Amino acid sequence: MTARTREDIAQAFVAACHAELQALKPGNVHIHAPGHGMDISHFEKAAAAAAPFIADPSLSVGKRILQATEASFGATGLNTNLGIVLLCAPLAKAAAETDASTGLRRRLAVILGTLTKDDADDAFAAIRIANPAGLGKVDNGDVTASAAPRMTLIEAMQLARDRDRIANAYVTAFEDIFDFALPVLDQARTSAAREDLAVSTLHMALLAEFPDSHIARKYGPAKALEVRDAARKLATAWSPAVTQKSFNTLKEFDLSLKSRGLNPGTTADFVVATLFTSLMSRRKLR
What are the counts of helices (DSSP H) followed by strands (DSSP E) for the chain?
16, 0
Q: Where are the beta strands (DSSP E) in the chain?
A: none
Secondary structure letter of residue 101 according to DSSP: T
User: pLDDT for 15-41, tens place per residue?
Assistant: 999 999 999 999 999 999 999 999 999
Q: What number of other Cβ atoms are within 10 A of residue 70's Cβ? A: 17
Report which of 80, 81, 100, 103 is spatially closest to residue 91, judged by C-alpha positions.
103
User: pLDDT for 227-243, tens place per residue?
Assistant: 999 999 999 999 999 99
User: pLDDT for 136-152, tens place per residue?
Assistant: 444 554 555 555 568 99
The pLDDT assigned to 97 comes to 86
Instruction: Name the amino acid, one letter, at 86.
Output: L
Per-residue pLDDT band for 282 (boundaries 50, 70, 90) equals confident
pTM (2 d.p.): 0.93
> 30 in helix, strand or coil?
strand
- Provide the β-strand partners of residue 35: 38
Per-residue HEC secondary structure of 108-168 comes to HHHHHHCCCHHHHHHHHHHHHHHCCCCCCCCCCCCCCCCCCCCCCHHHHHHHHCCCCHHHH
